[in-house]
Structure 1
Amino acid sequence: MTQLPTNLRARTLLLALLLAAAPLYAAPPEAARVDADWILARLARPAPDRTAFVELRGSKLLKTPLRLSGEYRRPDAATLVREVRAPYAETTTIRAGEAMIARAGKPSRRFSLARAPELAGLQASFGALLAGDRAALEQHYRLASAGTRQHWTLTLAPKDAALAARLQAITLYGRGAELRCIETQPVGAETQRTLLAGAAQAVTPVMATDALAMLCHGDGVAR
């Protein structure tokens, strides 16, 4: 076992893995408002599933965010896979309480989720999200929804003091039954965005950072 990473990258990775594969969007009534129950009912989905992603990782040391692209997969209900294809090749697999990271030309690294209570808590929370279990999710987060069925947001604010000291909130942006973007707001650090499904497919190699943010948020999203 290698030492478990404790930074927000690991937490964002797990969140993205658990939320990545979203069903195709079907346009609902435009004026209908949403609440958390409506959103959770549409995010719940069984395995197997897969979706493309584009992750923007900001840093004060970089002029523009690092852009990663690849695919998230849930081959079965107990296995989560994140495959980075560019600008490097790396595969992270979460299964049976462990995470394994494999990168070309380097030995695989394996660590236990049980050794990090915050990370294990996130795993349990977003397992509840995939099941559409609001009561279980609210054990760890305060939920706030906004928007319409055409453009909605669901914000998760951590209740745990240790996690709240590092993470302000996680905001999900969606359209109908399609989860299009996950925006993670660390305390004192750059906002991290993961574009999924249709939003990821709309990204172009020359798209500017502000355009990527607009693509994440979507026109008309209440926020």
Structure 2
Amino acid sequence: MISGIPKTVRRLLPCLLTGLLASSPALASGVDATWILRQLAQPAPSQTNFVELRGSALLKEPLRVEGQYRRPDAGTLVREVRTPYAETTTIADGQVSIARAGKPPRVFALQRVPELADLQASFGAMLAGDLAALEQNYRLQPSGSAQRWQLQLTPKAEALARRVRAVTLHGQNAELRCIETQPAKGEVQRTLLGGAATAAAAVRDAAALNGLCSAGGTR
């Protein structure tokens, strides 16, 4: 049953969207979605460390999940969590596999969760530079400058919009440094990447961590 699919699977792909862009008019500030796409497109293999921050009104500071995202080949996405637990989620060949030490992997067909299949397709389109495909799935709003930019993605498909209200990418020059995912219900989830994830290593204050995301990692 779809309801039996762990929340980990539903969280995974929004955090892997390192640039879902479509063509748009150039901004007065000098950046547009096409420019951002050129900065972020990466051929496989690629990898980046992440620090995922999950807010809660019950916690004094965000829950931190740390690990690494990997793309060993064009058809495979891997999310390896190292702290505070060990878990590896792999998306390949139309399946999602979640593995924890001492337990058999849990495997699900991606087609059972259409909104996740749409997200995976969009991620692939970004890496391939397929602007038309991205535009089919998202409304895009770029802003900022080449030194500090944002790109907000609003899902068009009803199935995805029921789970994700918007995804905002924050970058500095050619580096994607943070992804903010606003679920339809619940707290904003922030994922720090690359240099911002490195900067977060010694930071515990919630406001400072959130600032690493919104300020593009310059502190």
Partner of 1:10: 9
Partner of 1:84: 81
1:67 maps onto 2:64 in alignment: yes
1:96 maps onto 2:100 in alignment: no
Shift of 1:61: 4.3
* CA RMSD between the two structures: 2.4
Partner of 1:23: none
Match of 2:42 among 41, 45, 48: 45
**Separation in structure 2 between the aligned mates of residue 129 and residue 6 of structure 1, nearest angstrom:** 26
Deviations 1:107-134 (A, max 9, x none): 2111110111111111111211122222
Partner of 2:22: none
Question: Contact 1:3/1:111 (CA < 8 Å) preserved in 2?
Answer: no
Match of 2:186 among 189, 194, 198: 189
Stretches (4+) displaced over 6 A: none
Matched position secondary structure for 1:138 = helix
Partner of 1:131: 128
Matched position secondary structure for 1:53 = strand
So what's the TM-score if we normalise by structure 1? 0.86
- Correspondences of 1:139-150 after superposition (within 5 Å): 139-150=136-147
Deviations 1:116-167 (A, max 9, x none): 1111111111211122222110111000000011000011001112322332
Question: Contact 2:199/2:217 (CA < 8 Å) preserved in 1?
Answer: no
Question: Contact 2:51/2:197 (CA < 8 Å) preserved in 1?
Answer: yes
Identity of aligned residues (%): 62
Shift of 1:209: 1.0
Question: Contact 1:18/1:127 (CA < 8 Å) preserved in 2?
Answer: no
Matching residue's letter, 1:92? T
**Separation in structure 2 between the aligned mates of residue 219 and residue 133 of structure 1, nearest angstrom:** 26
Shift of 1:176: 1.4
Matching residue's letter, 1:90? E
**Separation in structure 2 between the aligned mates of residue 107 and residue 68 of structure 1, nearest angstrom:** 22
> Unaligned stretches of 5+ in structure 2?
20-27
Deviations 1:164-194 (A, max 9, x none): 2332100000111111001000123100000
Task: Call closer, same or farther: CA 1:34–1:197 in 2, change over 3 Å.
Answer: same
Matched position secondary structure for 1:139 = helix
Shift of 1:63: 3.6
1:213 maps onto 2:187 in alignment: no
**Separation in structure 2 between the aligned mates of residue 164 and residue 115 of structure 1, nearest angstrom:** 17
**Separation in structure 2 between the aligned mates of residue 107 and residue 42 of structure 1, nearest angstrom:** 39
**Separation in structure 2 between the aligned mates of residue 168 and residue 95 of structure 1, nearest angstrom:** 26
Matching residue's letter, 1:16? C
Deviations 1:174-221 (A, max 9, x none): 111111001000123100000000000111344211111110112699
| Greater RCO, 1 or 2 (C-alpha within 8 Å, sep 6+) | 1
**Separation in structure 2 between the aligned mates of residue 100 and residue 61 of structure 1, nearest angstrom:** 31
**Separation in structure 1 between the aligned mates of residue 91 and residue 4 of structure 2, nearest angstrom:** 13
Question: Contact 1:151/1:220 (CA < 8 Å) preserved in 2?
Answer: no
